[in-house]
């Protein structure tokens, strides 16, 4: 089985930064890459703040925190991934964009390296087809935010090898995560169930069944969900929700996966959720914009 000592992460947004932080805190050398130097600078500040909070709350020692920060490198150059044992992609949820990245990684990363995607819905088999190493391509879907959420969903493509699967599973378990395993069907496990629920919440709002507040309160208090579905959609990003619903509809061919017109309308209006300050709810009051990922 491949021994993973060095990790590359592509994308310095909330998911990529969180994955990089996890790997460093657990003693692995990490390169975090983004094409935008300003985004990398923000990620560096974000991760450092999270690690300091972990130290102050006694989750890790000062020495472990300092070591984690020393293990992190920030780069805009894919060539720095040459020696990575695994590269985890956490970029935009677009099959074409991911395939293009995997083609480049296939050329750069050493032959034994694993290429993993944090995709929440796109076929691993199709992503792997862009490379010369389908047996070493796998889905490693972290939940948001990665440092806090306890689950990793591992997805095997049609050609993913047992060795790749076992090495990826061992890495997730090193991160103290519970692993669930999905076959390569649209939406996998979590989003196959979650996104239709969110879409139905939009239908309930669209058809006037109830207010957004009552829909969310009903699911939080009636089914013990930590967030209501509309609040959760804002947290995930309405554009991401729409992308996943389109993938479910295309991949499974059932009209029940058609995106709600209201969801589409919100996106057309630029209401993408927390990240844009407004979605189903309005977050433009700075006091409402505290991110759960910053509270460790």
**What confidence tens digit (pLDDT) does each residue in 11-37 have?**
999 999 999 999 999 999 999 999 999
11 carries a ligand binding annotation: yes
Angle CA(209)–CA(211)–CA(217) in degrees, nearest 5? 105
Q: Give yes or no for residue 291 having a pLDDT over 90.
A: no
What pLDDT is recorded for position 288? 43
Any idea which residue has 């990398």 for tokens? 40
Enumerate residues 6+ apart whose C-beta is below 8 A from 279. Answer: 233, 234, 238, 266, 271, 272, 273
Give me the pLDDT at residue 285, please.
80
120 in active site: yes
Give the residue extent of every domain in the chain: 6-182, 192-294
Task: Please identify which of the residues 50, 120, 161, 182 carries the catalytic annotation.
Answer: 120
Q: Reply yes or no on whether 191 is catalytic.
A: yes
pLDDT at residue 295 tops 90: no
154, 139 in Cβ contact below 8 A?
A: yes
Indicate if 173 belongs to the active site: no
Q: How many alpha carbons lie under 13 Å from residue 201 in its C-beta half-sphere?
A: 26
Residue 77 a catalytic site member: no
Write out the CATH class of domain 192-294.
mainly alpha
- Any binding-site annotation on 12? yes
Domain over 6-182 is classified CATH 3.40.50.720 = yes
pTM: 0.89
Q: Is 144 annotated as a binding residue?
A: yes
Residue 151 three-state SS: strand
């Amino acid at each position: 089985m491949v021994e993973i000592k060095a990790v590359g992460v592509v994308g310095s947004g909330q998911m990529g930064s969180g994955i990089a932080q996890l790997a460093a805190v657990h003693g692995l050398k990490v390169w975090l890459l983004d094409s935008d130097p300003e985004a990398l600078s923000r990620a560096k500040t974000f991760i450092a703040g999270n690690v300091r909070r972990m130290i102050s709350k006694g989750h890790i020692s000062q020495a472990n925190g300092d070591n984690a920060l020393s293990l992190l490198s920030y780069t805009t150059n894919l060539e720095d991934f040459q020696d990575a044992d695994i590269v985890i992609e956490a970029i935009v949820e677009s099959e074409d964009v991911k395939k293009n990245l995997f083609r480049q990684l296939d050329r750069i990363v050493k032959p034994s390296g694993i290429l993993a995607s944090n995709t929440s819905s796109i076929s691993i088999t199709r992503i792997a087809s862009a490379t010369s190493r389908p047996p070493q391509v796998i889905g490693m879907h972290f939940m948001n935010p990665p440092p806090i959420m306890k689950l990793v969903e591992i997805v095997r493509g049609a050609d993913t090898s047992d060795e790749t699967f076992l090495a990826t599973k061992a890495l997730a378990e090193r991160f103290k995560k519970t692993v669930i395993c999905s076959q390569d069907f649209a939406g996998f496990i979590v989003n196959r169930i979650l996104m239709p629920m969110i879409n139905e919440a939009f239908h309930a709002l669209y058809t006037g069944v109830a207010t957004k507040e009552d829909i969310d309160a009903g699911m939080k208090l009636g089914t013990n969900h930590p967030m209501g579905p509309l609040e959760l959609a804002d947290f995930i990003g309405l554009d991401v929700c729409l992308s996943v619903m389109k993938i479910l509809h295309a991949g499974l061919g059932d009209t029940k996966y058609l995106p709600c017109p209201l969801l589409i309308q919100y996106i057309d209006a630029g209401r993408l959720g927390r990240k844009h300050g407004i979605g189903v709810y309005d977050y433009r009051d700075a006091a409402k914009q505290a991110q759960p990922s910053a509270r460790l």
